[in-house]
Amino acid sequence: MTRQKNVILLPNNYRKMKQFCCLFLFLFLGNCVSVFAQNLRDEQGKKDGKWIYVNKKKNNTKTEEGQYSHGRKEGVWIKYFANGKSVKLKGTYKNNRPQGSYSRYYSNGVIREQGVFENNKYQGELTRYHKNGQLAYRGQFNVSGEEMGVIKYYYPNGQLEIEYTKINGKLADKLTSYYPNGSIKQQLNIVGGKIEVIKIIDKPTATINPVFEDEYAPKITNPITKGVRFIPFGYNKIYNSNDEIWQDGDFKEGRLFDGKVYVYDKNGILKKVKVFKGGKFHSYSQL
Residue-level pLDDT, tens digit, the chain, 287 residues: 455 555 545 455 555 565 655 555 555 444 443 445 789 999 999 999 999 999 988 899 999 999 999 999 999 999 999 999 999 999 999 988 889 999 999 999 999 999 998 988 899 999 999 999 999 999 999 998 999 999 999 999 999 999 999 988 788 888 899 999 888 888 888 877 677 766 666 666 554 444 444 688 998 889 999 999 999 999 999 999 888 899 999 999 899 999 999 998 777 778 888 999 988 888 887 65
Separation between Cα atoms, residue 205 and residue 51, nearest integer Å: 56
SS3 for 91?
Answer: strand
For residue 115, which phi and psi values (nearest 5 degrees)?
A: -175, -165
Query: Listing from the earlier edge strand, what are the strands of the sheet with 245-252?
Result: 234-239, 245-252, 255-264, 270-277, 280-285
Q: Give one DSSP letter per residue of 245-262, joined into a string.
A: EEEEEEEETTEEEEEEEE
Mark whether 61 and 173 lie in a shared domain: yes
Assess whether 189 and 241 both reside in one domain.
no
Number of domains in the chain: 2
Largest interatomic CA distance in the chain = 123
Distance of CA 101 to the CA centre of its chain: 13
Q: End-to-end alpha-carbon separation of the chain, Å?
A: 84
| Domain limit, last residue, from 152, 183, 200 | 200
Residue 127 and residue 172 in one domain: yes
| β-bridge partners, 174 | 189
With respect to residue 15, please indicate whether it lies within any of the assigned structural domains. no
* Contact (CB, 8 A) for 156 and 138: no
State how far Cα 229 lies from the chain centre: 33
The reply to whether the predicted model has a pTM over 0.85 is no
- List the domain range (segments joined by +) for residue 166: 40-200
Beta 47-55 vs 61-69: how paired, if at all? antiparallel
CA distances from 153 to 54, 129, 136, 139, 177 (A): 37, 10, 6, 9, 9
**The amino acid at 287:** L
Pair (243, 191) in one structural domain = no
Q: How far is CA 202 from CA 154, 185, 186, 197, in A?
A: 19, 7, 9, 14
CATH code of residue 50: 3.90.930.1
Let me know whether 190 and 117 are in one domain. Answer: yes
